Chain A
Amino acid sequence: MSAPLLAAAALHVAYDGILAVQEVHLAVPAGRIVTILGPNGAGKSSLLNALMGVVPCAGCVTFAGHDLAAEGVEARVAMGLSLVPEKRELFSSMSVEDNLRLGRFRLRRGAGGEAALKKIFAMFPRLEERRHQQAGTLSGGERQMLAMGRALMGEPRLLMLDEPSLGLAPLVVRDILEAVARLRDAGVSILLVEQNARAALRIADYGYVLEGGRVVMEGPPATLQADGRIIESYLGFRAAEPA
């Protein structure tokens, strides 16, 4: 693998007096899907928010060789880093199309929007059907597609997805993760935070398991799947994995 696109070293995130993330080292190579797995409350979201600059952190984060320490959220977006947050954070009273167009705000105020819009609609045809509908009226799966579409309109180099499968039915989850895999094939690097470990490991190139704010295990999917410790960290016991 070449030099990673995004690298974090000795990352600590603290708020309200607790350390949500401790001593995390992490690398996302260009053109790969890296997934972060772990049970609820393991610090996965805090980690993504810190990488995006939404919450402060200690440690060293570099993106494409640049140190991100002094950069705010907007600057990071401008560099090609994009986050689809767990709560989606859509503009609920605005139309699907407006949401998407605003995703391109950083690129000379939305230049080249038509072509980009076409690409998004090709990826998520459902969004084209709902083009003029208010974002707040969408179903959970459509919201996730819109949130991803909005992020992609800004043509990011690295897309960070926080629990894209959260609260979605299995079929929708499959659609969305397939879209993620296609994005990787189109050259976008992905950092995928998931609770749905099996689905994530199917498309990922590399994975980290976070527990109590620390990386307890990392490796390629095959290694992680073979290891019973994932189940242990999720359910608090070691069991024979049912195929």
Chain B
Amino acid sequence: MPHRLLLPLLAALALLPLLPGFPPFWVTLLCYAGLAALVALGLVVLTGVAGLTSFGQAIFVGFGAYASAILTTRHGVSPWAALPAALLAAGVMAALIGALTLRLRGHYLAIATIAWNVSFYYLAANLDLTQRNDGISGIPPLRLGETALTEARAFYPLVLLCLGLALLATRNLLDSRVGRAIRALRGGALAAESFGVDTYRAKLLAFIYAGLLAGLSGWLYAHLQRAVNPSPFSLTMSIDYLLMAVAGGVQHLGGALLGALLVTLLRDQLQSLLPALLGAQGNFESIVFGLALVMLLQGAPQGLWPLLMRPFARWNGPRAAATPPPAAAPLPQRARPAPGTEILRAEDLQKRFGGLVAVNGVGFHLEAGEVVGLIGPNGAGKSTTFNLLTGVLAPTRGAVRFLGTPIAGLPARRIATLGIARSFQHVKLVHGMSVLENVALGAHLRGRAGALRAALRLDRAEEARLLALAWAQIERVGLAAVAHLPADSLALGQQRLVEIARALCLDPVLLLLDEPAAGLRHLEKAALSCLLDRLRAEGMTILLVEHDMDFVMSLTDRLVVMNFGAELAQGRPREIQRNPAVIDAYLGSAA
């Protein structure tokens, strides 16, 4: 991501008030823009990266502000000491609200946050604790030694410092093991779960992180304004924050900054201009903002930041060639079962969808170090069988044992921890993430570092090992030259190879490949065949669904043929090719 322009932008913002004749009121505006940018930054993580929309960020700003206001005015706590409490209040609230709503589909979260925000507003306006509509005044200012930060000019550096730190922490967080899990939520939830990511926890983490940034903003607000009342924490403000993030560019850290600046400054100008033009009092700027946002969504749904960055693309873009990450100590590996021992046995598997029986009484076993093909005509139930083995679906009946553990009905991420990795028939790579990062997602279970360590950059040693591992797998599938490119810019055949590299990162005992050769050109198929051959020689067990019969027949040791959801035949490729029942299944009976 192009972060390099952020530093000059922050520096410019810092120097701006030093210009001679810079109006003091504008410094105040810049302060408020900075506070809003903190909240919008949280929305970049939450909405832009994780794909969750919240119309309730003002709640968390409110919790931060009220917590600090109450502690400092009534309990004599120093404003600095109130910061952890403010963050705690916002964070706990985010955890609670998130726990209640994050298991639901995205638009429920959006609607629920609207309800939460309305409730919060009325609560704050009616509780004695928050002093109802009057709010709490007389909040002490922040002090640095003897100086009280009462003037906007004095407060402004603190805002910039917080913003700079938040930007840094956010960048660090997103560029880490946890960050990859969060980034995988958009469009790749199923893939992420298949590599051991607890997507619910990843969502919750993003929600809490956004809540914390909002809480920080609230704490600053309380001590800048030195009074709080319910109105700055209304639904309207939440909508404003989202508007800022979307207008600026909800997928870019810079977008939060740009959007907050733009909306805050523009609003101030319009507020004085529009009533004069229209000859009436009222908040008419919302008309302009509403229409502008609609036009933006229609014309530039990515926001303004990417438009602005386009001229700088050349020196800000990805490096010209892929460079391998620095070498690092290899990660510990799983013990491999001896070749020939049985590692997986499926018995009498059945899956019903309503009245439809997709898989009916399928049973087979796999031995360590063999390549087995699962073939059959369209609609025979091959992909459903795959999904039953990997925990995407729970079987209606039947059992699967993997290395002695019963796994039927376990969730996908539990099965991943046992050493089963897979690729998908419809490629599931995270858009916008590079090949290297996509592959590193497969190594999720092989790291430990959490969000805090990531934000503070204490995860670098482990991260280096994960990236070195990912790089090694990319080299293995022959994609080193394109490792730095966005994965979605590759041809479909190469994307399938990325999926295989990602699966290898898990250090699997069993590799399940769903149509790995589809869309590959002739030479690529030969290379894939070689790769799978080598993996087999290393002791890997592979089960693959594939339609390219040349590929299947030359590669596999054994075939399982399905038809009408049931097992039709099992055997060596040569026997299968001559099996009249199989020929009939493929060509249809002559009857």
| A53 interfacial contact with B, CB 8 Å | no
- Chain A, residue nearest B493 (CB): A18
| A173 interfacial contact with B, CB 8 Å | yes
Q: Is the CB of B564 within 8 A of A167?
A: yes
B427 contacts across to A, CB distance below 8 A: 16
- Chain B, residue nearest A233 (CB): B549
Q: Which of B378, B580, B590, B591 contacts A166 (CB 8 A)?
A: B378
Q: Is the CB of A236 within 8 A of B552?
A: yes
Q: Is the CB of A198 within 8 A of B577?
A: no
Q: Is the CB of B586 within 8 A of A236?
A: no
Contacts A18-B491, A236-B552; A195 near B377 (Cβ below 8 A): yes
Q: Is the CB of A198 within 8 A of B379?
A: no
- Chain B, residue nearest A19 (CB): B519
Q: How many Å lie between the Cα of A167 and that of B491 in the bound state?
A: 32
| B354 interfacial contact with A, CB 8 Å | yes
Q: How many Å lie between the Cα of A232 and that of B491 in the bound state?
A: 28
Contacts A39-B549, A235-B583; A18 near B492 (Cβ below 8 A): yes
Q: How many Å lie between the Cα of A166 and that of B362 in the bound state?
A: 19
Q: Is the CB of B355 within 8 A of A235?
A: no
A16 contacts across to B, CB distance below 8 A: 427, 492, 519
| A124 interfacial contact with B, CB 8 Å | no
Contacts A165-B588, A237-B577, A239-B578; A17 near B491 (Cβ below 8 A): yes
A242 contacts across to B, CB distance below 8 A: 580, 583
Q: Is the CB of A18 within 8 A of B519?
A: yes
Q: Is the CB of B587 within 8 A of A234?
A: yes
A195 contacts across to B, CB distance below 8 A: 377-378, 586, 588
Q: Which of B355, B548, B583 contacts A139 (CB 8 A)?
A: B355
Q: How far is the CB of B407 from chain A (nearest CB, A)?
A: 27
| B147 interfacial contact with A, CB 8 Å | no
A39 contacts across to B, CB distance below 8 A: 547, 549, 586
Can you list, as one digit per residue, whether each of B486-499 has a CB less than 8 Å from chain A (1) or not (0)? 00001111010000
Q: Is the CB of B586 within 8 A of A235?
A: yes
B198 contacts across to A, CB distance below 8 A: none
Q: Is the CB of B588 within 8 A of A173?
A: yes
Question: Which residues of B, 494-553, contact A by the 8 Å Cβ criterion?
Answer: 495, 515, 518-519, 547-553
A230 contacts across to B, CB distance below 8 A: 587
Q: How many Å lie between the Cα of A72 and that of B436 in the bound state?
A: 40
| A41 interfacial contact with B, CB 8 Å | yes
| A40 interfacial contact with B, CB 8 Å | yes
B490 contacts across to A, CB distance below 8 A: 17
Q: Is the CB of A239 within 8 A of B583?
A: yes
Q: How far is the CB of A182 from chain B (nearest CB, A)?
A: 19
- Chain B, residue nearest A167 (CB): B379
Q: Is the CB of A234 within 8 A of B549?
A: yes
| B589 interfacial contact with A, CB 8 Å | yes
| B335 interfacial contact with A, CB 8 Å | no
- Chain B, residue nearest A171 (CB): B591
B354 contacts across to A, CB distance below 8 A: 136-137
Q: Which of A18, A174, A197, A237 contacts B591 (CB 8 A)?
A: A174
- Chain B, residue nearest A240 (CB): B578
The interface on chain B, measured as residues whose beta carbon lies within 8 A of the other chain's beta carbons, has a size of: 34
Q: Is the CB of A235 within 8 A of B492?
A: no
A231 contacts across to B, CB distance below 8 A: 583, 587
Q: Is the CB of B355 within 8 A of A137?
A: yes
Q: How many Å lie between the Cα of A13 and that of B316 in the bound state?
A: 35
Q: Is the CB of A197 within 8 A of B578?
A: no
Q: How many Å lie between the Cα of A234 and that of B580 in the bound state?
A: 14
Q: Which of A40, A140, A197 contacts B547 (CB 8 A)?
A: A40
Q: How far is the CB of B430 from chain A (nearest CB, A)?
A: 15
Q: Is the CB of B515 within 8 A of A197?
A: no
Contacts A39-B547, A239-B577, A239-B583; A169 near B564 (Cβ below 8 A): yes
Q: How many Å lie between the Cα of A191 and that of B354 in the bound state?
A: 31
Contacts A234-B549, A235-B577, A237-B553; A40 near B377 (Cβ below 8 A): yes
| B356 interfacial contact with A, CB 8 Å | yes
B378 contacts across to A, CB distance below 8 A: 40, 163, 166, 195
Q: How many Å lie between the Cα of A237 and that of B580 in the bound state?
A: 14
B519 contacts across to A, CB distance below 8 A: 16-18
Q: How many Å lie between the Cα of A138 and that of B354 in the bound state?
A: 10
| A196 interfacial contact with B, CB 8 Å | yes
Can you list, as one digit per residue, whether each of B561-591 has a CB less than 8 Å from chain A (1) or not (0)? 0001000000000000110101100111111
Q: Is the CB of B515 within 8 A of A198?
A: no
| A199 interfacial contact with B, CB 8 Å | yes
Q: Is the CB of A41 within 8 A of B518?
A: yes
B551 contacts across to A, CB distance below 8 A: 236
A235 contacts across to B, CB distance below 8 A: 549, 577, 582-583, 586
Q: How far is the CB of A241 from chain B (nearest CB, A)?
A: 8
Q: Which of A18, A138, A167, A196 contacts B588 (CB 8 A)?
A: A196
Q: How many Å lie between the Cα of A78 and that of B503 in the bound state?
A: 48
Q: Is the CB of B589 within 8 A of A198?
A: yes
Question: Which residues of B, 384-408, contact A by the 8 Å Cβ criterion?
Answer: none
Q: How far is the CB of B142 from chain A (nearest CB, A)?
A: 54
B492 contacts across to A, CB distance below 8 A: 16-18
Q: How many Å lie between the Cα of A140 and that of B547 in the bound state?
A: 24
Can you list, as one digit per residue, whether each of B302-317 has a CB less than 8 Å from chain A (1) or not (0)? 0000000000000000
Q: How many Å lie between the Cα of A231 and that of B587 in the bound state?
A: 8
B588 contacts across to A, CB distance below 8 A: 165, 173, 194-200
Question: Which residues of A, 216-243, contact B by the 8 Å Cβ criterion?
Answer: 230-231, 234-237, 239, 242-243
Q: Max chain A CB contacts within 10 Å: which of B377, B492, B493, B552?
A: B377
A243 contacts across to B, CB distance below 8 A: 590
B493 contacts across to A, CB distance below 8 A: 18
A237 contacts across to B, CB distance below 8 A: 549, 553, 577
A169 contacts across to B, CB distance below 8 A: 564
B491 contacts across to A, CB distance below 8 A: 17-18
Q: How far is the CB of A172 from chain B (nearest CB, A)?
A: 11
Q: How many Å lie between the Cα of A230 and that of B549 in the bound state?
A: 13
Q: How many Å lie between the Cα of A169 and that of B565 in the bound state?
A: 12
Q: How many Å lie between the Cα of A40 and that of B517 in the bound state?
A: 13
Q: Is the CB of A198 within 8 A of B587?
A: yes
A137 contacts across to B, CB distance below 8 A: 354-355
Q: Is the CB of B549 within 8 A of A236?
A: yes
- Chain A, residue nearest B578 (CB): A239
Question: Which residues of A, 169-213, contact B by the 8 Å Cβ criterion?
Answer: 169-170, 173-174, 194-200
Question: Which residues of A, 131-146, contact B by the 8 Å Cβ criterion?
Answer: 136-140
A236 contacts across to B, CB distance below 8 A: 548-553, 577
Q: How far is the CB of B362 from chain A (nearest CB, A)?
A: 15
14 A-B pairs within 8 Å (CB atoms) are namely A17-B491, A17-B519, A18-B492, A18-B519, A39-B547, A137-B355, A165-B588, A169-B564, A195-B586, A199-B588, A200-B588, A234-B549, A235-B577, A235-B583
If A17-B490, A39-B586 are given as contacts, then 14 extra A-B residue pairs at C-beta distance below 8 Å, sorted by A number, are: A16-B519, A18-B492, A41-B515, A163-B379, A165-B588, A198-B587, A198-B588, A230-B587, A234-B587, A235-B549, A236-B553, A237-B549, A237-B553, A239-B577
Interface residues of B (CB under 8 A from A): 354-356, 377-379, 427, 490-493, 495, 515, 518-519, 547-553, 564, 577-578, 580, 582-583, 586-591
> What 4 A-B pairs come out closest when comparing CB atoms?
A236-B549, A196-B588, A167-B379, A40-B547
